[in-house]
Amino acid sequence: MYENLFEPISLGPSEIRNRIFNPPHGTTLGVNGLVSDQLIAYHEARARGGAGLIILEGMAFHPSFAFESAYLNAGRDDIIPGMTELARACRGHGTAVFGQLFHAGRSVRYSHDGSRPLVFSASDTPDDRYRVVPIPMSNDMVWEVIESYATAAARLAEAGLDGIEILASQGYLIGQFLNPITNRRDDEFGGSLENRMRFLSESIARTRQAIGSSKTLGIRITLDEKTQFGMEAGEAIKVCQALEHEGHLDYFSVISGSSASPDGWIHVFPPMAVPPAFVANDAAQLRSVVTKPVLVAGRINQAQAASQILSEGKADMIGMVRALIADPEFPNKVAANRSDDIRACIGCNQACVGHRLTHHAISCIQNPVTGRELEFRPRSTQPKRLVWVIGGGPGGMKAAITAADQGHEVILFEKQPKLGGQVNLAERLPGRSEFGGVTTNLMSELDRSSVRVCLSSSATTEAFHTIGPDAVIISTGAVPRLPEVEIIDTQFLSAWSVIAGEKPAGQNVVIADWSSDWSGMGVAHMLALSGYKVRLFSGASTCGESIPAIVRDQWFGELESLKVELTCYARFFGAEDQTAFFQHTINGEAITCEDVDAVVSCYPPRSNNDCNWIGQLKTSGTQPLQIKTIGDALAPRTVEEAVLEGFKAAWMIG
């Protein structure tokens, strides 16, 4: 259906087999700045899945920005052997590989030893997001960095990569030179646009000289940084036109957002509240004034959207980072007319960006094999006569699918008439409907599997003795609970019941948020949109402390617009006669909240122990049984842990 996604394209001397590329993104899969076997396996999975081009994560190349715990280092000769092996592995599947050279400038959150490092930029303009004041680079240092681009590119070319991309986007070092707000220099690299782009122009020219004409050379550029402090789109377009005129570049790759401000940062890794394919019009604007191919990325997670961007002439190639994290086989499935089988990314940012920003290897809440390709290689098992999975939330569904893929006979019991568990609540929140894709994707996989799904059905001792399963995976989830506090003459509701549709009394609602996760901010958002006056009290240092910062930051903007009052460090103690009582968690002082019609509690749920009888059967010795409890049934956490544990439990059955 989407043939235009599979038309070949030339990016300079590189012939790319289709129009789908995997854009650069940090993985935390390198080791001490070098390529690891796990990094090779990660990229090979996406090459095997049909991506036409992989552009590797941004690599450091100069001592002024070299944090080897987080970034590959192309400033070292010993990167060549591993990079050669990575390129060879991907090229074996017909996929081209480019390397990206990256310098963050002042946008640095890493450290070598725990102390704050020295950071460098065009000028000493303070950074609004990282809260640092950079050192202005000397003229000699600028030329040294320019030369380092070229020498690093030569290393990557020697390693056999097909091309080089220079990152000039999203408010990082080159963007800091281009932007007059952050570039206050009065030398040859500051002042006029010609001078401000000299750093980029010289880096491109010397890189081209270093890699020759047989390798592709492109840049990544931002037209809209989504912040008032960003470079103007008109100037960015002029930069691209001037660079094209200089004749060294083979393509432009367009992205959005900025690392330098909270509002711009949201659009670097846009959460599900940001519309899909939101950068496409920026790419179209640039494509209308340049002749070289224009690549685009930015929350494109559906084949239809990707194909439409191409058919409307907005871009020449489509970048899909998180879509290929969720399903590396995305291109192959589209090519085989199996688009409905794609495990679509939902933009939750939990295990991909969330892991990266906490210094862990990236993965996916829907696809735990991502980032663990070596750990979960295909294995041969002796099929069991029968596996029971009890509970049809995300963890149970993933366990059932995985067990069936291993060749086992599987029965999935779900006592509710609908699969999905807590996802059915989360998707009801404003701007979170896409989260329901977790259930939709797993149900699609169940439909294609041999799993027998029994809805409105519970596993019983009678069925157990009659059928006699060989292995049982317990995924019964959790049940809501309220804190043990005194409530007198005040309506007291759980967040779950409110999300499910129960209406708070009156108009003044206080949310007592112990969990500091999606539920508190989500319920506040939902009730405020319904016209309630909402006050959100969190026991944490910030509301939504346990969810990825990018998701939390976007939500803060929504709540502020809706006039939701936020109070942190507040422990709930009870309520009486329209007054809610809290205690400051640090100084112990009382916090009194008056004119309260209802209190909504976001308190941690309790593991559902409905299936404890199975463990008792095991200890009584009546059956030689493998039993594994997963997800919230083991300990209340998130979808990520439930799916990961469901996958592991089924994968280990033998």
User: Is residue 259 in a domain?
Assistant: yes
The mean pLDDT of 280-306, rounded to a whole number, is 98
Strand (E) positions, 60-215?
96-101, 120-121, 135-136, 163-167
- Name which of 295, 163, 184, 180 is nearest 239 in CA terms: 180
Residue 620: band (very low, low, confident or very high) from pLDDT cuts 50, 70, 90: low
Amino acid identity, position 198: R
pLDDT, one tens digit per residue, over 241-274 is 999 999 999 999 999 999 999 999 999 999 999 9
Instruction: Report the alpha-carbon angle 333-335-341, nearest 5.
Output: 20
How many structural domains does the chain have? 3
- Using the 3D structure, point to which of 312, 342, 357 is the last residue of a domain: 357
Q: Is 600 exposed, middle or buried (0-12, 13-18, 19+ CB in 10 A)?
A: buried
Say whether pLDDT at 1 is over 90. no
The confidence score (pLDDT) of residue 623 equals 54
Would the CA dihedral through 62, 187, 175, 207 be positive or negative?
negative
Looking at the fold, whether 119 and 267 belong to one and the same domain comes out as: yes
User: Is residue 178 in a domain?
Assistant: yes
Looking at the fold, whether 18 and 166 belong to one and the same domain comes out as: yes
**H-assigned helices in 536-634:** 549-561, 612-620
The confidence score (pLDDT) of residue 625 equals 82
Looking at the fold, whether 77 and 206 belong to one and the same domain comes out as: yes
CB 185 within 8 A of CB 138: no
- Name which of 150, 252, 132 is nearest 202 in CA terms: 150
Backbone angles phi, psi at 132, to 5 degrees: -125, 155
Q: Is 461 exposed, middle or buried (0-12, 13-18, 19+ CB in 10 A)?
A: exposed
Residue 616: band (very low, low, confident or very high) from pLDDT cuts 50, 70, 90: confident
Looking at the fold, whether 400 and 501 belong to one and the same domain comes out as: no
Other CB atoms within 10 Å distance of the CB of residue 275: 9
Residue 416: band (very low, low, confident or very high) from pLDDT cuts 50, 70, 90: very high
User: Is residue 368 in a domain?
Assistant: no
Looking at the fold, whether 442 and 576 belong to one and the same domain comes out as: no
Looking at the fold, whether 154 and 180 belong to one and the same domain comes out as: yes
The C-alpha R_g of the chain, in whole angstroms, comes to 27
- Name which of 354, 329, 355 is nearest 341 in CA terms: 329
Residue 383: band (very low, low, confident or very high) from pLDDT cuts 50, 70, 90: confident
The confidence score (pLDDT) of residue 123 equals 98
Looking at the fold, whether 445 and 325 belong to one and the same domain comes out as: no
- Using the 3D structure, point to which of 568, 584, 604 is the last residue of a domain: 604
CATH number assigned to the domain comprising residue 530: 3.50.50.60
SS3 307: helix
User: Is residue 452 in a domain?
Assistant: yes
Distance CA 153, CA 212 (A): 10
What Cα–Cα distance (Å) separates residue 50 from each residue in 95, 182, 251, 307? 8, 40, 21, 16
Looking at the fold, whether 534 and 555 belong to one and the same domain comes out as: yes
Distance CA 512, CA 575 (A): 11
Residue 86: band (very low, low, confident or very high) from pLDDT cuts 50, 70, 90: very high
The two three-digit tokens of residue 551, written as one number:
């998701």
- Name which of 471, 551, 514, 67 is nearest 271 in CA terms: 551
The two three-digit tokens of residue 539, written as one number:
């026991």
The confidence score (pLDDT) of residue 95 equals 98
Distance CA 19, CA 22 (A): 10
Domain boundaries, position 587 = 486-604
User: Is residue 374 in a domain?
Assistant: no
The confidence score (pLDDT) of residue 380 equals 75
Distance CA 342, CA 337 (A): 10
CATH number assigned to the domain comprising residue 398: 3.40.50.720
Percent of the chain past pLDDT 70, that is, above it, reads 99
Find how far residue 251's CA is from the centre of its chain: 26
User: Is residue 580 in a domain?
Assistant: yes
- Name which of 368, 428, 404, 250 is nearest 647 in CA terms: 368
Looking at the fold, whether 514 and 527 belong to one and the same domain comes out as: yes
Looking at the fold, whether 280 and 394 belong to one and the same domain comes out as: no
**pTM of the entire structure?**
0.96
Looking at the fold, whether 46 and 194 belong to one and the same domain comes out as: yes
Task: Name which of 56-60, 64-68, 108-112, 422-426 the model is least confident about.
Answer: 108-112
The mean pLDDT of 341-353, rounded to a whole number, is 96
Find how far residue 323's CA is from the centre of its chain: 10
All residues at 6 or more sequence positions from 619 whose CB lies less than 8 Å from its CB, including other chains: none
User: Is residue 125 in a domain?
Assistant: yes
Distance CA 202, CA 166 (A): 12
Distance CA 654, CA 650 (A): 9
Other CB atoms within 10 Å distance of the CB of residue 330: 29
Average pLDDT, the chain: 96
Looking at the fold, whether 145 and 173 belong to one and the same domain comes out as: yes
The mean pLDDT of 400-407, rounded to a whole number, is 96
Residue 644: band (very low, low, confident or very high) from pLDDT cuts 50, 70, 90: very high
The mean pLDDT of 117-142, rounded to a whole number, is 96
The mean pLDDT of 532-560, rounded to a whole number, is 95
CATH number assigned to the domain comprising residue 329: 3.20.20.70
Say whether pLDDT at 622 is over 60. no
The confidence score (pLDDT) of residue 654 equals 77
The two three-digit tokens of residue 377, written as one number:
């290689």
All residues at 6 or more sequence positions from 214 whose CB lies less than 8 Å from its CB, including other chains: 13
Residue 621: band (very low, low, confident or very high) from pLDDT cuts 50, 70, 90: low
SS3 487: strand
Print burial letters for 352-363: b (CB count within 10 Å at least 16), e (below 16). bbbbbbeeebbb
The two three-digit tokens of residue 63, written as one number:
């001592």
- H or E stretch including 599? strand 598-602
Print burial letters for 567-577: b (CB count within 10 Å at least 16), e (below 16). bbbbbbebbee
User: Is residue 581 in a domain?
Assistant: yes
- Name which of 562, 588, 577, 592 is nearest 487 in CA terms: 577
